[in-house]
């Protein structure tokens, strides 16, 4: 079990991180944008067309009631590899995020909060991949 810091146990930080990503993604280079699109749409962002799937239906079936996220061990390894590619380049987001996505109040206010949340996901993905685990996120 993993609990994200600064989220108060809520999905709201992830939701708002997805919205911040939508505001900044078009202002980043194609390589970083592609990696973060893959990472975030595999975890919590609905994707550029709003149709991203966050669950591997083989784990819980099509219904998957109460499941926010379900990734098989293979899916976790793929996302961990994407994280490994992306995280050394997150500083390239600093200026574009400040200009296009930062907000004065609410959730995920600035690039530091955004990167902190992604880094926490990176730890989860890296450890789960190392152990050969799947990843499951459940709603309350």
Is 5 part of a structural domain of the chain?
Answer: no
CB 114 within 8 A of CB 20: yes
CA distance 83 to 25: 16
Closest by CA to 114, choosing from 125, 100, 130, is 100
Is 6 part of a structural domain of the chain?
Answer: no
Give strand ranges (E) for the chain.
67-71, 135-138
Copy the structure tokens of residue 70: 């379900």
Mean pLDDT, rounded, of the chain: 88
Number of domains in the chain: 1
Copy the structure tokens of residue 131: 């152990």
Is 30 part of a structural domain of the chain?
Answer: yes
pTM of the model: 0.89
Is 19 part of a structural domain of the chain?
Answer: yes
Is 54 part of a structural domain of the chain?
Answer: yes
| pLDDT per position as a tens digit, 59-83 | 666 665 667 788 999 999 999 999 9
């Amino acid at each position: 079990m993993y609990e994200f810091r600064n989220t108060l146990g809520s999905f709201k930080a992830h939701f708002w991180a997805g919205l911040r990503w939508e505001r900044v993604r078009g202002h980043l280079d194609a390589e970083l944008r592609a990696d973060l699109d893959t990472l975030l749409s595999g975890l919590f962002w609905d994707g550029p067309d709003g149709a991203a799937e966050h669950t591997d239906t083989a784990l819980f079936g099509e219904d998957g009631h109460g499941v926010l996220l379900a990734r098989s061990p293979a899916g976790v390894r793929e996302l961990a590899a994407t994280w490994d590619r992306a995280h050394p380049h997150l500083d390239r987001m600093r200026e574009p995020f400040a200009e296009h996505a930062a907000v004065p109040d609410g959730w995920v206010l600035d690039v530091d909060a955004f990167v902190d949340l992604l880094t926490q996901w990176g730890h989860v993905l890296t450890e789960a991949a190392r152990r050969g685990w799947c990843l499951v996120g459940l709603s309350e």
